[in-house]
Structure 1
Amino acid sequence: MATTGNAGMDLFSVLTLLYFVTAVCAGTHSLWYFVTITTGPSPFPEIVMVGMVDDVPVEYYDSVDRMVIPRQHWHKDNEVYAKWKRVAITRTSDSLKNRFQHMMEHFNHSVTLHTYQRIAGCELDDDGTERFQAKDSYNGMDVLFYDVQSYTWSSLVPEMRKDYWLIESYKGLFYQLYQPLCVQNLKSYLHQERSILKRKVRPRIRVLQKQVGGAGWVEVTCLATGFYPRHIEVTMKRDNHPVPEQELIRGDILPNGDGTYQLRMSLSVSAEELREGHRYTCSVRHVSMDNKLDIAWDSQPKPDIALISAASVTALATVLLILTGIFVLKKRKSKVPGCSRSGKIEEEVERMHAAEGVVKDAEELLEMERQED
């Protein structure tokens, strides 16, 4: 039973994340409950609930097993918590089924595949600020919204105003029960899973390029990967000026297999722009870094510094070998009888001249390298 619940939890978590994607600012944690009621042919149970802290699934419930499957069993012995959890599930299920029926009647929909969803949860800032939010949708269309300022529900379907008193009856329930329970539960999860939920993993940044299409077009891609938490700011600049958003192809923040995330941003550069020699920069901000990180790419790269450096090292090595050889020969000659002093001097002078020529060539090569840099 638990295996089935965990599998459903993973699958449904993906669907709910695709449905409700929000950027949580650094220093803020959230607990969201995603509730979906389905009628008609569907691979899911009639009622499915998923609880997620930030982006980590922590609870799962469906109308088939009728039990809450937590990520861990921290609350198993807490009878008070279990009681309020059962009350919340029962009240929420009855309320949503009632509104689901009203919506189907209002839009004159037959019993085919339809969905009614509620997204409700709380956010907690590092400074202790609390927020509670909730929203209902019918077949993907927003129909009900919880106003956190006035603690009231507002119908987004004018024809459904007849449910005003029903909506108002839940005002005190959300303010006095659901919001405090949500914040308390969030704090508990943050404490128990602090090694996962409060970790900070620095992103790895790369600027990639590849030929696309014809006429010399190049696609420049900024890739940020391996970071956690998922909130990240990535911008692309051309000569230190932000590239207009309409020119960019911005991907979604996608999960990696190790619990971290990745984000891609691409820009198509024409052959004419390449000839102009612009400098493109990928700028990244993330909570794991004290300052922003800039990675640059030049459309007209400089000569290969690695090759120049290798040539310089080779030249210097040659000089050292020649000087070493001269020193060894000098020692040997001094030990051979019959060698004239003048002959040794002439040979040494010739070798020194040769060495000076090699050194001069090496110095010229190093000077060329400095000028090109």
Structure 2
Amino acid sequence: MVLDLLTQLCILLQVTGVFSASHSYRYYYTGITENANGQPVFTATAYVDDYPIGAYTSHSKEFKLQTEWIKEKTDPELWERNSEIFQGWEIEFKKGVRSLMNHYNHTDGFHTLQWMYGCELHDNGSISGYDLDGYDGKEFMALDLERVIHTASLPEAETIAQKWNTETNEAERMKNYLQEQCIESLKKYIRSGKENLERKVLPEINISEKTTDNGITLHCHAYGFYPRDIDVKWMRNHREEVPCQDDQYILPNTDGTYQVQASIHILSKDGDSYSCHIDHSSQTETRILTWKPTKDATIYIVMALCVSVIVLVTALVVIWKRRGAGNNNSNYALSTTEDKDVPVSLPAV
């Protein structure tokens, strides 16, 4: 379970999936080496669903709220207290980066320590949580909430996990936080931000195409939707799902909505029909948009077929001429082998 923690935030926020009505509350901490060209050596960011609550940096020394409705509906003293807590974590992360550099025998260079944790409240009332630690972009330790222990994700982290499990009660403390305090905080945000967190915006959908040397690439673009989770797929003849040629990433828009694109490649002379199927929590049923070749695409297909026919006819003519020439000169071709190591011309096939 080795994940790239440098892209973990993108994965959690962007990767598409079947829509659900769950809510999440999560934190991301990052510490870096101190010779990082003026970058903050420690940052901490908090999110409720896809809304950034705020961020702390070693430059600002305070947790600054970033979403207007959260500013209006939360206690300012809470975030003042959290600023003091993050100042303490800044010190701990500086120590942590140096400690892990020693553990990995790194004497210099740019290195990162990351910590991600959060909880989710699902639409059926169930809860879940996670706690992951990473060094230099790779997960090295995770909290197993079932066994209430830290598990090493890399062999090099075995001794660290063992030390945490035997010398601290960190696993039990984090389990209690994720299943109790984190969930209670999330419920408060859901109540105070219901209008924002539970709003639903229908996706706009369009299909575009691009002709290539060996076929056509079809793009299904859904945009302007909220919440983030969506399922977009291509179907052949409305029955068979067609795998997309690239990974799908849900990207944020400046207005708080999202967009995603699903692309497939088909042969120019493919006679099947293709349709884009979209499921989103703002819809009561699956929306289906069927691709209809544009005039340019139709011309391209006809031209491709014409070129194929011309190439085939040309090849047949060449073969026919070679056969005729071979029959006329076959005696000469064979007779030359008597005086030469290599025949001047090949015998007829």
Fold-level similarity (TM above 0.5)? yes
User: Residues 60 and 69 of structure 1 are in contact (CA less than 8 Å); yes or no, is this contact kept in structure 2?
Assistant: yes
Aligned partners of 2:145 and 2:175 also within 8 Å: no
Does 1:105 pair with 2:118?
Answer: no
Give ranges in structure 1 of 5+ residues lacking alignment. 1-13, 302-373
Identify which of 218, 221, 225 aligns with 2:219: 221
Quick one: distance in 2 between partners of 1:250 and 1:241?
A: 22
Q: Which amino acid aligns with 1:57?
A: P
1:37-76 aligned within 5 A: 37-39=31-33, 40-70=35-65, 71=67, 72=71, 74-76=73-75
- Residue equivalent to 1:31: 25
SS at match of 2:212: coil
Equivalent residue of 1:44, what SS? Answer: coil
Counterpart-to-counterpart distance in 1, 2:54 and 2:220: 35
Contact 1:31 1:54 in 2 (8 A): yes
Whether the aligned pair in 1 keeps the contact of 2:61 and 2:87 (CA below 8 Å) is: no
Which residue of the partner structure matches residue 240 of structure 1?
A: 238
**Kept in 2: contact 1:279–1:299 (CA 8 A):** no
Check whether the contact 1:76–1:82 (CA below 8 A) recurs between aligned residues. Answer: no
Residues of 2 paired with 1:181 and 1:270: CA distance? 55
What one-letter code is carried by the residue in structure 2 that aligns with 1:289? Q
Which ranges in structure 2 are unaligned for 5 or more consecutive residues?
A: 1-5, 296-349
Deviates more, 1:143-152 or 1:175-184: 175-184
- The reply to whether residue 284 of structure 1 matches residue 278 of structure 2 is yes
Match of 1:184 in 2: 184
Once the two structures are TM-superposed, the CA of residue 44 in structure 1 deviates from its matched residue by 2.8
Answer yes or no: is the 8 Å Cα contact 1:32–1:52 preserved in 2: yes
Distance change >3 Å, CA 233–CA 296, structure 1 → 2 = same
Evaluate the alpha carbon distance shift between residue 23 and residue 35 of structure 1 in structure 2; reply closer, same or farther with a 3 A threshold: farther
- Equivalent residues of 1:16, 1:34 under 8 A apart: no
In 1, the alpha carbon distance for the partners of 2:16 and 2:290 equals 26
Q: C-alpha offsets along residues 41-93 of structure 1, whole Å, 9 cap, x if unaligned?
A: 145311100001111100211222222222416443556x865x467536654
Match of 1:260 in 2: 257
Q: Report the Cα distance in structure 2 between the residues aligned to 1:188 and 1:27, rounded to whole angstroms.
A: 16
Q: Does 1:201 align with 2:201?
A: yes
CA distance in 1, matches of 2:144, 2:95: 21
Superposition map of 1:1-373 within 5 A: 17-18=9-10, 20-21=12-13, 25-39=19-33, 40-70=35-65, 71=67, 72=71, 74-76=73-75, 83=81, 85=82, 89=86, 92-93=89-90, 96-163=93-160, 164-167=162-165, 168-177=168-177, 179-210=179-210, 212-214=211-213, 217-245=215-243, 248-273=245-270, 276=271, 278-299=272-293
- How far apart are the structure 2 equivalents of 1:219 and 1:161? 47
2:212 alignment partner AA: G
Aligned length: 280
CA distance in 1 between partners of 2:294 and 2:237 (Å): 13
List per-residue Cα deviations over 1:152-192 (Å, max 9, x = no partner).
21122334433323344212321334542221221222222
Secondary structure at the residue paired with 1:110?
coil
The CA distance in 1 between the partners of 2:7 and 2:294, in whole Å, is 44
2: CA distance between counterparts of 1:118 and 1:29? Answer: 20
Bigger radius of gyration among the two: 1
Contact 1:222 1:282 in 2 (8 A): yes
Does structure 2 conserve the Cα–Cα contact (< 8 Å) formed by 1:234 and 1:282?
Answer: yes
Render the CA deviation track for 1:327-346: whole Å, top value 9, x for unaligned: xxxxxxxxxxxxxxxxxxxx
- Judged with a 3 Å threshold, the aligned counterparts in structure 2 of structure 1 residues 73 and 113 are, in CA distance, closer, same or farther, namely farther
Are the aligned partners of 1:75 and 1:82 in contact in 2 as well (CA < 8 Å)? no
Please give the alpha-carbon distance, in whole angstroms, between the structure 2 residues aligned to 1:158 and 1:271.
50
Counterpart code for 1:100: V
For the residue of structure 1 that corresponds to 2:291, the secondary structure is strand
Q: CA distance change for structure 1 residues 284 and 113 in 2, over 3 Å: closer, same or farther?
A: same
Letter in structure 2 aligned against 1:295: L
Alpha-carbon distance in structure 2 between the residues aligned to 1:223 and 1:27: 23
Q: Assess if the C-alpha contact under 8 Å between 1:42 and 1:113 holds in 2.
A: no
Deviates more, 1:231-240 or 1:252-261: 252-261
- TM-score, length-normalised on structure 2? 0.71
- String of CA shifts for 1:336-365, please: whole Å, max 9, x gaps: xxxxxxxxxxxxxxxxxxxxxxxxxxxxxx
**Aligned-residue CA RMSD (Å):** 2.8
Q: Deviations over 1:259-305 (max 9, x none)?
A: 111111122222221xx2x211100100111111111124599xxxx
CA contact (8 A) 2:219 2:262 kept: yes
RCO (CA 8 Å, sep 6+): is it higher in 1 or 2?
A: 2
- Distance apart, 1:151 and its partner CA: 2.2
Could you say what secondary structure the match of 2:52 adopts? strand
> What is the CA deviation profile of residues 65-124 of structure 1, one whole-angstrom value per residue up to 9, with x for unaligned ones?
222222416443556x865x4675366545544443332112211232111101101101
